[in-house]
């Protein structure tokens, strides 16, 4: 959840750390801090608030040093303030540590250390860990890397940590378990970060640490990796595909708006080389060896969280409709704790933008123990989910910096559609005509989204009317019901307006009581098998004086006559309506948030990648 960055080499560390923290700020922005080693002097600067507050604070202070670590925090243990901000120091001030994750048994360790004379200044679990390392190092006389290894054998929970020591100024020690950490390899220099975004500017060569691995980065002796049992591990070097230009706003006011407008390209990239309508084929290379297993599975279980869960719900409609395989969609956080029934002929699909979502990873590990086939749909190459699964497909959405997911969601849905079409074709549950029509419609999606984005000015006008609403209702039927959920989530996330998504038919089983002349009701009312039913639902809202904002198929006249506002989307196969219908909701949420002076890219209390429970 938090962002970690580290550097050791010949360059000045401070500007590298600050730039890295700025790139990682989407992972947490409650507070930020750095530690710098300079000729035996260990300096720690930290400040509540965004990275810029730290920059302002350090402006008049010494920022010398070629070794350093930094952290941007999403608070778990302890309030977001200067004291609880990372890095945290040992009692003798010789060690400094940054940490992402949660040490679950910190309280037991803290009480034990207190009995041995340790005094704690913060409310964090992280400070307990650095004191534990200090205790072991000082009492056992071992090296810093051995002290870290011994300490980690005593802790329970999730961690990505980076440690520097005044006594070992040419080393950085890093370790991980259930929280991501990547090491960049440069020319006589090394970079450490929670993900590749701070690293790509300097090197393309990286090593992703696996769980319970410890990296010893030595200025003179290079990189060495051991596991928690002290077994030597050979580093596996990968090449980053990420481009530095993808991490900039590119002239847009916010990353979210940029990422909304990147969706035509992102969706094209998600099916490029995997689908060809003119030649009549579809192939997901990452799943090729498992096509038969998927096609012959008894059940598919999709596990995900947040927006990815909504994508899974759309996928349930797709797979059951086109491939006729039973699908269950589970919140990963609930799935892992309710003793679910998992069979060897089940296929479990994990969906995660980051590929690091803690609950989703834990659900996969549980399913793996039961012998299920594990598949992943993720955006980040080399992420933990991509490594634990048997097979999978990358969405190729590119970096998504805005906390509220946009292009990651539509590419996830696109990939699920391709999977359903592919398996349906293999099982013979869709006709050749239907198969070809779906391929044609898939290939046409980027161009149709380009056309849809031309409605942005009108959507902004609609947003202006409802920017001061206190509540909103989103309605949809069939595969558009998850889009109602997603639309409501977007509005909640970035504008802080309470919103609910509902199946349109369920409105009269409760939510209709909320409707009055102040209530905007967003309805997906596109042409298709549910059209007349949705029109009836709209009439029910109008009879209660609710305000209707309808998503309609281009050329629609019936809904336009009764809706207060109608936003047209291009005509497409009913299966693919969710991909188009979600985009007006993204834009409405974005514009309302901007008009309410909300921080669009970094909404309060949220962070991009949830790597803690």
Beta strands of 443-536 (E only): which ranges? 471-476, 498-503, 520-524
Q: Give catalytic status of residue 425 as yes or no.
A: no
Average pLDDT, the chain: 90
d(CA 323, CA 434): 12
**What pLDDT score was predicted for residue 242?**
66
Q: Between 415 and 243, name the one with better pLDDT.
A: 415
Q: Which of 43-57, 412-426, 507-521 has the highest mean pLDDT?
A: 412-426
- Bridge partner residues of 362 (DSSP): none
Q: Which of 14, 37, 44, 20 is nearest to 219 (CA)?
A: 37
Residue 479, SS3 per DSSP: helix
Residue 258 — very low, low, confident or very high, per pLDDT cuts 50/70/90? very high
Q: Exactly one of 2, 46, 176, 177 is catalytic; name it.
A: 2
Q: What percent of the chain has pLDDT over 70?
A: 97
pTM (two decimals): 0.80
Token match 């309030």: residue?
A: 79
Q: Which of 285, 290, 342, 295 is nearest to 319 (CA)?
A: 295
Q: Give catalytic status of residue 608 as yes or no.
A: yes
Encode burial over 519-555: b for 16+ CB neighbours within 10 A, e otherwise.
bbbbbbbbbbebbeebbebbeebbeeebbbbbbbbee
pLDDT digits (tens, 9 = 90+) for 299-345: 999 999 999 999 999 999 999 999 999 999 999 989 888 888 999 99
328, two tokens = 């269950």
Q: Are 439 and 567 in contact (CB under 8 A)?
A: no
Domains and CATH numbers, the chain: 3-246 (3.60.20.10), 249-450 (3.40.50.10490), 454-603 (3.40.50.10490)
- Please report the DSSP string for 88-128 in residue order: EE-TTSSEEEEEEEEETTHHHHHHHHHHTT----SS-HHHH
Token match 């960049």: residue?
A: 184
**What pLDDT score was predicted for residue 612?**
53
Q: Exactly one of 43, 110, 425, 608 is catalytic; name it.
A: 608
pLDDT digits (tens, 9 = 90+) for 348-406: 999 998 888 888 988 998 899 889 999 999 988 878 898 899 999 999 998 888 888 99
Residue 27, SS3 per DSSP: helix
**What pLDDT score was predicted for residue 244?**
60
Q: Are 223 and 30 in contact (CB under 8 A)?
A: no
431, two tokens = 């006709």
- Bridge partner residues of 98 (DSSP): 162
d(CA 166, CA 462): 58
**What pLDDT score was predicted for residue 356?**
84
Q: Does pLDDT of 448 surpass 90?
A: yes
Q: Does pLDDT of 532 surpass 70?
A: yes
Residue 196, SS3 per DSSP: coil
Residue 247 — very low, low, confident or very high, per pLDDT cuts 50/70/90? low
- Bridge partner residues of 200 (DSSP): none
Q: Phi and psi for 528 in degrees, rounded to 5?
A: 150, -170
If you average pLDDT over residues 259-287, what whole number do you get? Answer: 94
If you average pLDDT over residues 128-142, what whole number do you get? Answer: 93
pLDDT digits (tens, 9 = 90+) for 21-47: 988 887 777 889 999 998 888 999 999
If you average pLDDT over residues 445-469, what whole number do you get? Answer: 96
281-282 and 275-276 as β-strands: parallel, antiparallel, unpaired?
antiparallel
Residue 472, SS3 per DSSP: strand
**What pLDDT score was predicted for residue 513?**
67
Specify burial of residue 140 (Cβ count, 10 A radius: 0-12, 13-18, 19+). exposed
If you average pLDDT over residues 420-441, what whole number do you get? Answer: 96
């Amino acid at each position: 959840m938090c962002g970690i960055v580290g550097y050791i080499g010949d360059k000045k560390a401070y500007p590298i750390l600050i730039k890295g923290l700025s790139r990682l700020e989407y992972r947490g922005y409650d507070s930020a801090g750095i530690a710098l080693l300079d000729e035996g002097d260990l300096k720690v600067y930290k400040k509540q608030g965004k990275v810029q507050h730290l920059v302002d604070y350090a402006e008049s202070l010494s920022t010398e040093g070629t070794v350093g670590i930094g952290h941007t925090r999403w608070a778990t243990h302890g309030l977001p303030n200067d004291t609880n901000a990372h890095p945290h120091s040992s009692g003798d001030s010789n060690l400094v540590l940054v940490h992402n994750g949660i040490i679950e048994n910190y309280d037991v360790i803290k009480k034990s250390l207190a009995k041995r004379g340790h005094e704690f200044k913060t409310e964090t679990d992280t400070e307990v860990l650095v004191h534990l390392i200090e205790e072991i190092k000082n009492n056992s006389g071992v090296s810093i890397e051995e002290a870290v290894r011994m300490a980690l054998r005593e802790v329970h929970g999730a961690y990505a940590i980076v440690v520097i020591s005044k006594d070992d100024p040419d080393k950085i020690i890093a370790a991980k378990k259930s929280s991501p950490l990547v090491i960049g390899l440069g020319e006589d220099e090394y970079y450490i970060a929670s993900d590749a975004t701070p690293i790509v500017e300097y090197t393309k060569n990286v090593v992703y640490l696996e769980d319970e691995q410890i990296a010893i980065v030595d200025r003179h002796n290079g990189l060495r990796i051991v596991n928690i049992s002290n077994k030597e591990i050979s580093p596996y070097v990968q090449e980053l595909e990420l481009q530095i230009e993808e991490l900039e706003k590119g002239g847009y006011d916010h990353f979210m708006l940029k990422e909304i407008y990147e969706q035509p390209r992102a969706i094209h990239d998600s099916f490029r080389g995997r689908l060809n309508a003119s030649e009549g084929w579809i192939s997901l290379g990452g799943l090729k060896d498992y096509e038969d297993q998927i096609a012959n599975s008894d059940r598919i279980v999709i596990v995900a969280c947040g927006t990815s869960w909504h994508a899974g719900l759309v996928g349930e409609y797709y797979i059951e409709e086109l491939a006729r395989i039973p699908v269950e969609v589970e919140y990963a956080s609930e799935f892992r704790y309710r003793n679910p029934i998992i069979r060897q002929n089940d296929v479990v699909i994990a969906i995660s933008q980051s590929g690091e979502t803690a609950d989703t990873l834990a659900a996969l590990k549980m399913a793996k123990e039961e012998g299920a086939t594990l598949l992943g749909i993720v955006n980040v190459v080399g992420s933990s989910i991509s490594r634990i699964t048997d097979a999978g497909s990358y969405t190729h959405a590119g970096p998504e910096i805005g906390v509220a997911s946009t292009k990651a969601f539509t590419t996830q849905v696109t990939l699920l559609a391709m999977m359903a079409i592919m398996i349906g074709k293999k099982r013979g549950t869709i006709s050749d005509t239907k198969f070809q029509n779906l391929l044609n419609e898939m290939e046409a999606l980027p161009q149709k989204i380009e056309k849809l984005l031309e409605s942005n000015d009108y959507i902004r006008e609609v947003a202006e009317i409802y920017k001061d609403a206190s509540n909103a209702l989103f309605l949809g039927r069939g595969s558009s019901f998850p889009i109602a959920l997603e639309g409501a989530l977007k509005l909640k996330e970035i504008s802080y307006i309470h919103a609910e998504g509902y199946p349109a038919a369920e409105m009269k089983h409760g939510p209709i009581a909320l409707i009055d002349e102040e209530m905007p009701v967003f309805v997906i009312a596109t042409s298709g098998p549910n059209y007349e039913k949705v029109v009836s639902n709209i009439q029910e809202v109008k009879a209660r004086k609710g305000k209707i904002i309808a998503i309609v198929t281009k050329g629609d006249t019936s809904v336009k006559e009764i809706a207060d506002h109608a936003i047209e989307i291009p005509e497409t196969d009913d299966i693919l309506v969710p991909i188009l219908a979600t985009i007006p909701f993204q834009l409405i949420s974005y514009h309302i948030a901007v008009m309410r002076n909300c921080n669009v890219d970094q909404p309060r209390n949220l962070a991009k990648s949830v790597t803690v429970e």
